[in-house]
Amino acid sequence: MREKEDIQELKESLRQLQQIVLSHERALGLIREDTIPASVFCTELGALESIVVYLRELHQLSYVNIGKKLSRSAAVIGVVYRTARKKYQQPLSVTSAVAVPVAIFADRSVSMQRHLVRYLHDQRKMQFCDIARLIHRNPRTVWTAYHARGDKQ
Please give the pLDDT value at position 8.
Answer: 81
Please give the pLDDT value at position 6.
Answer: 78
Please give the pLDDT value at position 53.
Answer: 96
Which of 18-22, 40-44, 106-110, 128-132 shows the lowest mean pLDDT across its residues? 18-22
Residue 33's pLDDT band, with cuts at 50, 70 and 90, is: low
Q: Report d(CA 43, CA 45) in Å as an integer.
A: 5
What mean pLDDT is reported for the chain? 86
Q: What angle do CA 70, 148, 66 make, to 5 degrees?
A: 10
Strands (E) across the chain are located at: 35-37, 99-101
pTM score, two decimals? Answer: 0.75
Q: Report d(CA 61, CA 118) in Å as an integer.
A: 26
Q: Report d(CA 134, CA 39) in Å as an integer.
A: 7
The mean pLDDT value for 101-121 works out to 93
pLDDT at 5 > cutoff 60: yes
